[in-house]
Amino acid sequence: MKLYYQSQGSGQPLIILHGLFGSSDNWRGLARQLAAHAQVITVDLRNHGRSPHSNALNYDLMADDVAELMADLGLQQVDIIGHSIGGKVAMILAARYSERVRRLVIVDMAPKRYSDSHSDIFEALLALDLTQFTQRSEVDAALAHSIADKAIRQFLLMNLALDEGKLQWRINLQGLADNYPQLLQAVCDEERVRQPILFLRGGLSNYIEKGDEVMIKQLFPNSEMVIFEQAGHWIHAEIPALFLTTVKQFFDYD
């Protein structure tokens, strides 16, 4: 699949992979700052952003999509930042295309199987009849009773696009919902990924638990972990300056 991407800067290629319901646009500010040190390529994973939609969705397919983009761009070896499900895609890439991946930063994601924590969001979004709305604010109000957290609603509503005066989901909402069980699965459970990897854990998040650290070290023997006690799951958005400093140091950017 030919993924949508944005590229800026020059030098060592750095690919950034977003999380569920996200897109390359979420990383625009940080990508601009990192582009002073590298060629930064922000990607929309399949069924997200401006990339094509497909009823087929799993981590192997998403990793192959990114590998295809690397081949199309003639990238011999890349660094990767992956957040949430983008982190699992990055892990698969490092395992299956080891000679093509130099270093990885995994943002608040473990390779383990996760329990369902998004079905209520899918149900709320799929229940909306977008033909009844003309503005995002109206959709926000309609979602408020089922998704109480305004920040989460605002994040989700970034996926709304206005097309010929009509609101539409840019994401493949039904395709993501149908394949959501695939996104909960563990990855690399029979692999040993030996590239240098930095795991960033949000201290206020439960995506990486204390007991996961031993398993992560077994699967990724050259990994290290940094815990940001004051951050949740969206470390890069919550403490961007500290995130940027940490990433630049790990990638040996001047």
- Report pLDDT for 229: 96
- Rounded distance between C-alpha atoms, residue 96 and residue 90, angstroms: 10
Tens digits of residue pLDDT in 156-176: 999 999 888 899 999 999 999
- pTM of the model as a whole: 0.96
Q: Look up residue 24 and give its DSSP letter.
A: G
Please state the rounded mean pLDDT for residues 169-193. Answer: 94
Tens digits of residue pLDDT in 206-240: 999 988 999 999 999 999 999 999 999 999 999 99
Please state the rounded mean pLDDT for residues 140-163. Answer: 94
Torsion angles phi and psi, residue 246, rounded to 5: -65, -45
At how many degrees (to 10) do helices 85-96 and 59-73 cross? 70
Write out the DSSP string of 112-137: S-----SHHHHHHHHT--GGG-SSHH
**Catalytic positions, please?**
84, 233
Measure the N-to-C terminal CA separation of the chain; round to a whole number of Å: 35
Tens digits of residue pLDDT in 47-85: 999 999 999 999 999 999 999 999 999 999 999 999 999
Tens digits of residue pLDDT in 240-251: 999 999 999 999
Q: Are the C-beta atoms of 143 and 134 separated by less than 8 Å?
A: no
Count Cβ atoms below 10 Å from residue 191 Cβ, excluding itself: 16
Taking CA atoms, 54 is separated from 28, 48, 165, 166, 167, in Å, by 25, 10, 25, 22, 21
Query: Given phi > 0 = left and psi -120 to 50 = alpha, else beta, which region is 99?
Result: alpha
- Where do the structural domains in the chain lie, given as residue ranges? 5-114+185-250, 119-178
- Report pLDDT for 66: 98
* CATH code for the structural domain at 5-114+185-250: 3.40.50.1820
Please state the rounded mean pLDDT for residues 200-204. Answer: 97
Q: Which of 36-45, 187-196, 216-225, 245-254 has the lowest mean pLDDT?
A: 187-196
Residue 254 pLDDT > 80 = no
Q: Please report, as a single letter, which amino acid is at residue 150.
A: K
- Report pLDDT for 68: 98
Q: What percent of the chain is modeled with pLDDT above 90? A: 95
- Report pLDDT for 163: 85
Tens digits of residue pLDDT in 90-99: 999 999 999 9
Residue 108 pLDDT > 90 = yes
